[in-house]
Chains A and B, each alone.
Chain A
Amino acid sequence: MPFIAEILKYRSVSIVGIEKNTGKTESLNYILSKLHDKNKCIAITSIGVDGESIDQVTNTAKPEITIFENMIFVTSEKHYFTKRLTAEILNVSANRTSLGRLVTAKAKTVGKTLLSGPADTATLQKIIKQNAAFGADITIVDGALSRMSLASPSVTDAMILATGAAYSANIRQLMQKTKFVCELISIDAVDEKIRTLLGDTEKGLWSIDSNGVLHDLNIESAFMLTSAEAIKHEYLQNCKMLFVAGVVSDKLLDFLRMQGNMDGFTLIAKDFTKIFVSPEIYNSFRKKGGCIKVLHKTKLIAVTVNPVSPQGYVLDTKILQQAMRENLDVPVYDVRDNQ
């Protein structure tokens, strides 16, 4: 499949599901098996929270990933001990996740394991770097789109989006949702100057004035932005750029839009995974002149579709792929169809 060659151009690629059961694991297993044939050293890890919450709340098993010989994988101690393959430990992290320390190991045989990885972006970045030092040509990240997740898959160089019938049995609806997520992924990044200015700002709301000076609005999260208080705020009144370190919600966009003229106003989100808005509200914000940018942008390589839903109905993969291709600017594949 052509996008395998595309993947190999990057040092790190995340695979992100639009919803649970949209075939992310299948895509992942497919990509790993194909990459294995390419004679490259592949590393893989996961973003922690997603899998953990599923495991602990609904108690459904997280699907296992097939690891091939010589592949490097990073998982928590708890899952490392349940692996069904022989592997050589390369490193153990100093810090703990809720499932124990992170174990980096190299597979000596083929076999299956559960993956769980760093729960925050900084550790994820460190792991990607570490894997490269252990000789990995590329790190694949089993990503998550979740409000719960502190680690963002957008720190990877590129991304693959998995979508499927699990989200909706209505092809049109599924296509529109996927299209909207693709639109969010393709939101432009801020320029280098502003990225440097905002750096590693972890929380709060910040305004940037026309002189390029950063002001802390002393509002911890966008959820606390109540109209009366904020309008009075000297910086917000004349603010042309607002950075939200946390989640950008419908409520925030509504609030900003209602303040009036949005011409020349830019809202900066950390990355697209922090934007949880409905297409309608997003569009009316844009129509009013508002602009959204992100601090970290990642390249979307491909969309994979899974026509089978967990409830059992199956969409016609040809029609599904067709609908996606007509509306998306990126390659679309059904990983089963292509196997």
Chain B
Amino acid sequence: MTDNSDNITALRKSANDNLGFFYLLNKLDLKSSLSKRYLYSQKFITDKHKLENEFDKIETTISFLNDKKNDKIFSDTENKLSQILDINGTLQNLANSIILSDVELFEIKKFAILADEIKQLLLTFDLIDLPDLSEAINILDPENTRIQTFYIYDAYSCELAVLRKSVKVKNENLSPELYQKIIEIEDEIRKQLTEKLHAYTQDLKTALSKVAYLDILIAKSKQAKTEHFCKPFIVDTNTFYQGLFNPQIKDLLHAQDRKYQHVDISFGQYPTLITGINMGGKTVLLKTVALAQYLCQYGFYIPANDARIALVDKIMICMDDEQNHLQGLSSFAAEMKNVNEILSETNTNKRLLVLIDELARTTNPAEGSAIVNAMIDMLAERNICSFITTHYDKITSTCRRLRVHGLLDNITVIKDEKKIEQYIDYSLVEEKTANVPHEAIRIAEMLGVNSELIEKAKNKMNDN
């Protein structure tokens, strides 16, 4: 378990990298090699207005994409974006007034021209506000050709032009003195160019990050459009999803010609206990709830038909993950350590989303269910928006309960356990009692497990 992290890079390094979030990021069709660095430095946003503004931008972009007559502008923009390289290092040198080389001056000129062309292309669309770089371009384009090439032009110095002409006339026999003289003049020009450009450092940096932002915005919008994601509405208390799905798992199932069932779920500032048969998709549900919250607060559309989302300051997930085993902790010890972290966070004023998969599953049911009950009580007292999944009976604490609907009624035998989803209804139903489904033996029987074992297990159940 880890908390949600400040930015996407930190999230990737955390244990929460298996929610399906990075699957979506990797599928983003980014055009510029520059944009990935910007994408990964995006911050987890807790400010409602910032997010709403971002979702509006995506909405505008999608409507712009949907209009056929913009296709040309759009593909031209993408073409320009694909030519933009990350010149952050060069801009850093410029900021530090290090005299720039021809290659660096070329990089700045090429970038500035491309950024300017993108600005012109998108002039009539309210997508980004790029700074005016024409002054910076003029410095590097003394012949006013607007072509993306660069050298120390003759136009920078009459003396240089004369010397070069004399070299051309004499052809190959460039004397060391003449060569030295040319070098000196060129160095002086580079110094002057760097000094002049220095004033535009901030504009160039702003343009670089805005261009990256534009690339990411277009990629996000295209993804939202093709994957049928929805624009989330930010609400104050109760989160509600209609037709929520996990794109990674959906793609995985579709690739195997299998079906994925979307689910509806709502929750508020209280614990929700989730029960349901094995293979009922409880873990996937938790992951998907976490995924949707991350997507929302990193400014993405949501994989659902409808999403009304209450913002949180921190997402805390406790799932069985291999990292703990690698650290040499027993699963129980690792889990208890995580639970402890969660509880200490509940004492702060942060808005939390807590997701715990099968709390205390690795210990005996008597103590395990006691721990679950205690945890529910504490989360309820503190009004924590939280989910706990369990198979345990005797969870008597007062809380809201949801059950995965479970096996379809008319199923008696599971012929194809590799396509288990055709026997299960994954929708969630409100459960009023503390009972958990007793279907483990039934499922084992349907799976064709050793009949003697099944019979004996049934008898044992009756004995109790």
Chain A residues within CB distance 8 Å of chain B: 66, 69, 77, 80-81, 84, 86-90, 92, 94, 101, 103, 105-106, 108-111
Q: Is the CB of B149 within 8 A of A86?
A: no
Chain B residue nearest to A111 (CB atoms) is B174
**Complexed CA–CA distance, A110 and B171 (Å):** 7
Q: Is the CB of A86 within 8 A of B174?
A: no
Fill in one digit per residue for B33-54: 1 if any A CB lies within 8 Å of its CB, else 0. 1000000000000000000000
* Supplied contacts A80-B102, A92-B107, 4 more A-B pairs, CB within 8 Å: A88-B151, A94-B33, A110-B171, A110-B172
Residue in A66, A84, A105 whose CB lies within 8 Å of B179: A84
Instruction: Report the minimal beta-carbon distance from A68 to chain B, rounded to whole angstroms.
Output: 9
Residue in B103, B152, B172, B182 whose CB lies within 8 Å of A103: B103
Given A84-B179, A94-B85, A101:B103 Cβ within 8 A: yes
Fill in one digit per residue for B147-185: 1 if any A CB lies within 8 Å of its CB, else 0. 001111000000000001001100110100001001000
With a CB–CB cut-off of 8 A, which chain B residues contact A84? 174, 179
Residue in A80, A81, A105, A109 whose CB lies within 8 Å of B164: A109
Given A66-B172, A111-B174, A90:B101 Cβ within 8 A: no
Q: Is the CB of B151 within 8 A of A89?
A: yes
B106 lies within 8 A of chain A by Cβ: yes
Residue in A80, A94, A101, A109 whose CB lies within 8 Å of B168: A109
Chain B residues within CB distance 8 Å of chain A: 33, 85, 101-103, 106-107, 149-152, 164, 167-168, 171-172, 174, 179, 182
With a CB–CB cut-off of 8 A, which chain B residues contact A105? 151
With a CB–CB cut-off of 8 A, which chain A residues contact B171? 110
With a CB–CB cut-off of 8 A, which chain A residues contact B174? 84, 111
Given A66-B172, A81-B101, A87-B151, A109:B179 Cβ within 8 A: no
Chain A residue nearest to B106 (CB atoms) is A89
With a CB–CB cut-off of 8 A, which chain A residues contact B151? 86-89, 105, 108
**Complexed CA–CA distance, A111 and B174 (Å):** 8
With a CB–CB cut-off of 8 A, which chain A residues contact B149? 88-90, 106
Instruction: Report the minimal beta-carbon distance from B427 to chain A, rounded to whole angstroms.
Output: 46
Chain A residue nearest to B34 (CB atoms) is A94
**Complexed CA–CA distance, A29 and B103 (Å):** 26
Q: Is the CB of B106 within 8 A of A92?
A: yes
Instruction: Report the minimal beta-carbon distance from A95 to chain B, rounded to whole angstroms.
Output: 10
With a CB–CB cut-off of 8 A, which chain B residues contact A94? 33, 85
With a CB–CB cut-off of 8 A, which chain A residues contact B152? 86
Residue in A66, A80, A81, A89 whose CB lies within 8 Å of B150: A89
With a CB–CB cut-off of 8 A, which chain B residues contact A87? 151
**Complexed CA–CA distance, A87 and B106 (Å):** 12
- Determine which residue in A77, A87, A89, A111 has the highest number of CB atoms from chain B within 10 A of its CB, and name it: A89
With a CB–CB cut-off of 8 A, which chain B residues contact A110? 167-168, 171-172
With a CB–CB cut-off of 8 A, which chain B residues contact A86? 151-152, 164, 182
Q: Is the CB of B101 within 8 A of A69?
A: no
**Complexed CA–CA distance, A86 and B182 (Å):** 10
**Complexed CA–CA distance, A103 and B101 (Å):** 12
Instruction: Report the minimal beta-carbon distance from A49 to chain B, rounded to whole angstroms.
Output: 22
Q: Is the CB of B172 within 8 A of A88?
A: no
**Complexed CA–CA distance, A207 and B101 (Å):** 51
Given A77-B103, A80-B103, A89-B106, A69:B168 Cβ within 8 A: yes
With a CB–CB cut-off of 8 A, which chain B residues contact A89? 102-103, 106, 149-151
Instruction: Report the minimal beta-carbon distance from A10 to chain B, rounded to whole angstroms.
Output: 26
**Complexed CA–CA distance, A122 and B152 (Å):** 32
Chain B residue nearest to A81 (CB atoms) is B101
**Complexed CA–CA distance, A81 and B103 (Å):** 9
Q: Is the CB of B150 within 8 A of A88?
A: yes
With a CB–CB cut-off of 8 A, which chain B residues contact A81? 101-102
Cβ contacts A to B, 27 pairs, < 8 Å: A66-B172, A77-B103, A80-B102, A80-B103, A81-B101, A81-B102, A84-B174, A86-B152, A87-B151, A88-B151, A89-B102, A89-B106, A89-B149, A89-B150, A90-B149, A92-B85, A92-B103, A101-B103, A105-B151, A108-B151, A109-B164, A109-B167, A109-B168, A110-B168, A110-B171, A110-B172, A111-B174
Instruction: Report the minimal beta-carbon distance from B155 to chain A, rounded to whole angstroms.
Output: 12
Instruction: Report the minimal beta-carbon distance from A110 to chain B, rounded to whole angstroms.
Output: 6
Chain B residue nearest to A101 (CB atoms) is B103
- Determine which residue in A84, A103, A108 has the highest number of CB atoms from chain B within 10 A of its CB, and name it: A108
Chain A residue nearest to B173 (CB atoms) is A110
**Complexed CA–CA distance, A157 and B167 (Å):** 35
**Complexed CA–CA distance, A80 and B150 (Å):** 14
**Complexed CA–CA distance, A80 and B105 (Å):** 14
With a CB–CB cut-off of 8 A, which chain A residues contact B101? 81
Instruction: Report the minimal beta-carbon distance from B253 to chain A, rounded to whole angstroms.
Output: 30
**Complexed CA–CA distance, A81 and B152 (Å):** 13
With a CB–CB cut-off of 8 A, which chain A residues contact B168? 69, 109-110
**Complexed CA–CA distance, A101 and B101 (Å):** 13
Instruction: Report the minimal beta-carbon distance from A260 to chain B, rounded to whole angstroms.
Output: 46
**Complexed CA–CA distance, A187 and B149 (Å):** 42
Chain A residue nearest to B186 (CB atoms) is A86
With a CB–CB cut-off of 8 A, which chain A residues contact B179? 84
**Complexed CA–CA distance, A309 and B149 (Å):** 42
